[in-house]
């Protein structure tokens, strides 16, 4: 963008030369003893300009890493004059002057180099930078040269009287170009604006030259780079089709959708250089497949559940259509205050990502589980089939059938159950994360599941279990309190209700328990709610819980978290006739329990490593610990 004979942003185009001069000054340091100096900036009149000036100056940027000779310091200061003047011009001050002196001498003083050479080694040369911004230029008349649709012209977003800030003006042109491209003008051009200075006022008239070009449509779509993945599966996955109106956002969504399929390490897009005779432009997707198989090792620890560790093996492309087979084996309950012995969880899952239609997946799963907990000891084989359909970018629904054959011992009473359930759910997720281990910074996650269940065995019953979960993430940057992604408030709420079963016909593993990392940190796992006379958990038919957590990052890798968890479990399930409860253990069993704590975070490319310590605000039951420790990969929620 230029104004009159003086380019408005031409200084930005001179940066390579200025940078070269600065580095030339740094290289001259080897020719003489380095000159020690300090830099003092005068005010510009604007905090944002002050910050930009300090960040842009090579006098400060190279102060520690680039020692210079006296002559090199003079060259560096001279380069900064033009560089800092460009900064002020970019904020709309086109008559600004920048003055730099060294020990009170102007940079043009022929004796300056000799004076700097004579400076004692124990004294810093004083580099003073002062500014005279002059008048703030504002936008005058705005002209658009070329046939431009009204929507694109409105996207310019500039108005007479606004400060003529270069970044704002250039952003307006970029918005206009984006709207043109989104409306099908694939080869639109918006030249950098030309600015003309008015003669009698600090105003700049702007002129944008625009060539919209013809509207085009998507032409032939090619997939390049496939090896093991079938092309038909990729085409089925694509949300982009030949004949549709050209739109960069639609092309980018299609690229991201292919990447999310899980079999590609990279997906790039190339648009044809011109349209064909039918007004269509070809699109080429170039893919790079990930290794076919992967092995992952995982581990976690909490003082209530003890340690766990295992291995997961994954085939990412089982039959050539991006089907994913996952085999896992996990050892659990290695120690821990809420456990009575080792447990395990071994299973297999097969996921068909595009079952019959591109936005629908089908999953088969089978698991063998053993748990040895204070609440109960369980051995079970579970299986399930789940159909999931995406309704939009954030909404999805699912339905399925699950079965469980289990043996559960609670308070020396052993029962066998066969459970058949038909869970139906709806989910919402606006966090835009690729992995559940990624750190959520904004958005909402929520789900509601209703599972009608039939229990067959020693006790037969039909009941319905309803569960709702909600998590919200608030980046304090939206209130200009902190830098983006550095300070986040995370909120969690959950509720559950079991209806239709009574007289101890609700299996122990289907009841609700509070305490632990998933509900109320600080209380031992499953310890919140009604208790047996020995202090072991009974479980309940309803739960509500919530959490507030503040997450603050420091530097690139580290962070801390402060949190408060609270919740309660209500029980209407009586204990078996062979067990009685003691009043002192069941006093106010439905009372609200609150835990507080703090934690450390170490951020890695695959997610944050988390260590939390939490304490209960009220002792409850004989098995309650003074504090609990939780460690794992990923945030608590």
Contacts of 566 (CB under 8 A, 6+ apart): 520, 545, 546, 547, 592, 593, 594, 595
Give me the mean pLDDT over the 600-626 stretch: 89
Pair 193, 207: CB distance under 8 Å: yes
Least confident of 30-34, 101-105, 460-464, 567-571: 30-34
pLDDT in tens, 73-90: 999 999 999 999 999 999
Contacts of 422 (CB under 8 A, 6+ apart): 399, 400, 401, 402, 451, 452, 453
CA dist 149 → 217, 220, 246 (Å): 18, 27, 16
What is the rounded CA–CA span in Å between residue 146 and residue 208? 8
Q: How far apart are the first and last CA of the chain?
A: 48
Give me the mean pLDDT over the 49-67 stretch: 91
pLDDT given for residue 504 in this prediction:
67
Mean pLDDT, the chain, as a whole number?
A: 90
pLDDT given for residue 625 in this prediction:
84
pLDDT in tens, 340-350: 999 999 999 99
- 466: pLDDT confidence band, cut at 50, 70 and 90? very high
Contacts of 509 (CB under 8 A, 6+ apart): 376, 378, 380, 406, 408
Higher pLDDT pick, 565 / 502? 565
CA dist 479 → 180, 486, 488, 489, 491 (Å): 32, 13, 11, 12, 17
pLDDT in tens, 273-305: 999 999 999 999 999 999 999 999 999 999 999
Give me the mean pLDDT over the 567-592 stretch: 60
pLDDT given for residue 533 in this prediction:
85
What is the rounded CA–CA span in Å between residue 53 and residue 59? 11
Give the predicted TM-score (pTM) of the model.
0.76
Give me the mean pLDDT over the 234-262 stretch: 93
Q: The domain at 138-211 falls in which architecture? A: Roll (3.10)
pLDDT given for residue 588 in this prediction:
63
pLDDT in tens, 521-536: 999 999 999 888 888 9
Give me the mean pLDDT over the 62-75 stretch: 90
Give me the mean pLDDT over the 127-150 stretch: 94
pLDDT in tens, 142-186: 999 998 999 999 999 999 999 999 999 999 999 999 999 999 999
SS3 content of the chain, % helix, strand, coil (to 5): 20, 45, 40
pLDDT given for residue 456 in this prediction:
87
Give me the mean pLDDT over the 55-73 stretch: 91
Reply yes or no on whether the pLDDT at 453 is more than 90. yes
- 581: pLDDT confidence band, cut at 50, 70 and 90? very low
pLDDT given for residue 20 in this prediction:
34
Give me the mean pLDDT over the 383-395 stretch: 96
pLDDT given for residue 22 in this prediction:
39
pLDDT given for residue 27 in this prediction:
41
pLDDT given for residue 577 in this prediction:
44
pLDDT given for residue 342 in this prediction:
95
Give me the mean pLDDT over the 313-337 stretch: 96
User: CATH top-level class for 293-633?
Assistant: mainly beta
pLDDT given for residue 590 in this prediction:
74
- 494: pLDDT confidence band, cut at 50, 70 and 90? very high
Same fold, 138-211 and 217-289: yes
Reply yes or no on whether the pLDDT at 573 is more than 80. no
* Residue corresponding to tokens 């000799």: 114
pLDDT given for residue 352 in this prediction:
96
What is the rounded CA–CA span in Å between residue 144 and residue 191? 11
User: CATH top-level class for 217-289?
Assistant: alpha beta
Written as one string, the DSSP assignment of 474-500 is EEGGGGTSS-TTTEEEEEEEEEEEEES
pLDDT given for residue 584 in this prediction:
40
Reply yes or no on whether the pLDDT at 315 is more than 90. yes
- Tell me the sheet residues that pair with 167: none
Reply yes or no on whether the pLDDT at 21 is more than 80. no
- Domain spans of the chain? 2-132, 138-211, 217-289, 293-633
Q: Is 577 exposed, middle or buried (0-12, 13-18, 19+ CB in 10 A)?
A: exposed
Reply yes or no on whether the pLDDT at 580 is more than 80. no
Pair 176, 210: CB distance under 8 Å: yes
Each residue of 524-535: b (16+ CB within 10 Å) or e?
bbbbbbbbbeee
């Amino acid at each position: 963008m230029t104004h009159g004979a003086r380019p408005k942003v031409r200084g930005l185009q001179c940066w390579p030369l200025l940078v070269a001069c600065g580095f030339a000054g740094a290289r001259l340091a080897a020719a003489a003893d380095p000159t020690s100096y300090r830099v003092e900036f005068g005010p510009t009149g604007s905090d944002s300009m002050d910050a930009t000036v300090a960040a842009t100056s090579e006098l400060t940027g190279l102060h520690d890493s680039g020692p210079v000779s006296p002559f090199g310091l003079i060259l560096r200061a001279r380069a900064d004059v033009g560089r800092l003047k460009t900064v002020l011009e970019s904020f709309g001050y086109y008559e600004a002057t920048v003055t730099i002196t060294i020990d009170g001498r102007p940079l043009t003083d022929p004796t300056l180099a000799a004076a700097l050479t004579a400076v004692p080694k124990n004294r810093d040369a004083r580099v003073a930078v002062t500014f005279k911004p002059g008048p703030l230029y504002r936008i005058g008349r705005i002209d658009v040269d070329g046939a431009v649709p009204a929507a694109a012209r409105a996207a310019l977003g500039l108005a007479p009287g606004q400060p003529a800030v270069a970044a704002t003006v250039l952003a307006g042109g970029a918005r206009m170009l984006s709207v043109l491209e989104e409306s099908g003008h694939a080869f639109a051009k918006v030249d950098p604006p030309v600015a003309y200075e008015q003669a009698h006022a600090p105003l700049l008239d702007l002129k944008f030259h625009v060539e919209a070009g013809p509207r085009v449509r998507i032409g032939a779509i090619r997939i390049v780079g496939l090896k093991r993945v079938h092309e038909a599966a990729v085409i089925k996955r694509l949300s982009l089709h030949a004949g549709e109106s050209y739109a960069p956002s639609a092309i980018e969504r299609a690229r991201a959708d292919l990447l999310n399929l899980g079999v590609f390490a990279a997906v790039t897009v190339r648009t044809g250089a011109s349209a064909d005779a039918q007004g269509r432009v070809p699109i080429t997707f170039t893919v790079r497949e990930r290794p076919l198989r992967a092995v992952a090792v995982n581990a976690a620890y909490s003082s209530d559940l003890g340690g766990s560790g295992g291995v997961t093996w994954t085939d990412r492309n089982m039959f050539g259509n991006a089907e994913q087979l996952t085999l896992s084996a996990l050892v659990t309950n290695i120690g821990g205050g809420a456990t009575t012995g080792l447990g395990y969880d071994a299973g297999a899952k097969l996921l068909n990502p595009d079952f019959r239609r591109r936005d629908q997946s089908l999953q088969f799963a089978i698991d063998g589980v053993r748990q040895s907990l204070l609440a109960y000891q369980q051995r079970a084989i579970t299986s399930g089939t789940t159909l999931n359909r995406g309704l939009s970018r954030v909404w999805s629904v699912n339905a399925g059938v699950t079965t469980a054959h289990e043996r559960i011992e609670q308070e020396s009473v052993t029962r066998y159950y066969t459970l058949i359930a038909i869970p139906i759910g709806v989910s919402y997720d606006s966090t835009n994360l690729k992995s559940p281990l990624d750190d959520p910074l904004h958005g909402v996650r929520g789900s509601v599941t209703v599972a009608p269940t039939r229990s067959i065995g020693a006790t037969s019953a039909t009941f319905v279990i309803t569960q709702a979960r909600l998590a919200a993430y608030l980046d304090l940057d939206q209130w200009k309190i902190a830098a983006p992604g550095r300070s986040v408030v995370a909120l969690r709420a959950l509720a559950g209700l079991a209806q239709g079963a009574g007289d101890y016909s609700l299996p122990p593993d289907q009841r609700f328990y509070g305490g632990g990392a998933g509900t109320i940190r600080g209380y031992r796992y499953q310890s919140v709610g009604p208790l047996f006379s020995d202090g072991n958990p009974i479980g309940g038919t309803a739960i509500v819980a919530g959490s507030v957590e503040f997450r603050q990052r420091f530097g690139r890798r580290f962070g801390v978290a402060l949190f408060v968890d609270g919740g309660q479990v209500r029980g209407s399930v009586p204990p078996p006739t062979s067990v009685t409860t003691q009043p002192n253990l069941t006093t106010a069993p439905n009372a609200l329990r609150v835990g507080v704590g703090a934690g450390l975070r170490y951020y890695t490319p695959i997610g944050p490593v988390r260590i939390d310590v939490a304490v209960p605000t009220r002792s409850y039951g004989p098995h309650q610990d003074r504090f609990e420790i939780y460690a794992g990969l990923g945030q608590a929620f």
